[in-house]
Structure 1
Amino acid sequence: MQVHLIEGIIDEVDSTVHVSWVQPRVLGIPQVKALRERLDSWVGKVHTTLLSIEAETPDLVAA
């Protein structure tokens, strides 16, 4: 967002990101597949981190 590649709103309370605009760019199928793999990996790491935090701080994290 800082370099104006996307526009949107990050809602930290609801843990959501709303993207309203993306800088156009043409990607080939191999590039899209590589991007998906990177995003899937990132999502997995974020989920693992969340589980770790919840396990370490059960009294601080509301379910």
Structure 2
Amino acid sequence: MKSLSVHLIEGFIDQVNGTVYISWAQPRVLGIPQIKSLRDQLDSWVDKVHTTLLSVEAETPDLVAA
């Protein structure tokens, strides 16, 4: 979200489907180690979000039941 707000990327977040669409990114040269680091950070973030989701679902089963 910060990258969107400072115009490093353009796109939108679809909260209903839980997806992010990126249509443009500020050009920048990244080396393979930097790309791997970004991938690792994103993987870690996804894991944390998933863990949080499971925790919220476990704590509030009546609120998230469809």
Task: Please list every run of 5 or more consecutive structure 2 residues that lacks an aligned counterpart in the other structure.
Answer: none
Which residue pairs with 1:22 in the alignment?
25
How many percent of aligned residue pairs carry the same amino acid? 76
Which stretches of structure 1, 4 residues or longer, exceed 2 Å deviation after superposition? none
Q: Alignment RMSD, CA only?
A: 1.2
Count of residues in Structure 1 that have an aligned counterpart in Structure 2: 63
Which residue pairs with 1:11 in the alignment?
14
Secondary structure (helix, strand or coil) at the match of 1:20 reads strand
Aligned partners of 2:42 and 2:15: how far apart in 1?
19
Task: Please list every run of 5 or more consecutive structure 1 residues that lacks an aligned counterpart in the other structure.
Answer: none
Question: 1:62 deviation in Å?
Answer: 3.2
Q: Deviations over 1:10-56 (max 9, x none)?
A: 12222221111111111001111111111111110000000000000
Which residue pairs with 2:50 in the alignment?
47
Q: Decide which structure has greater helix share.
A: 2
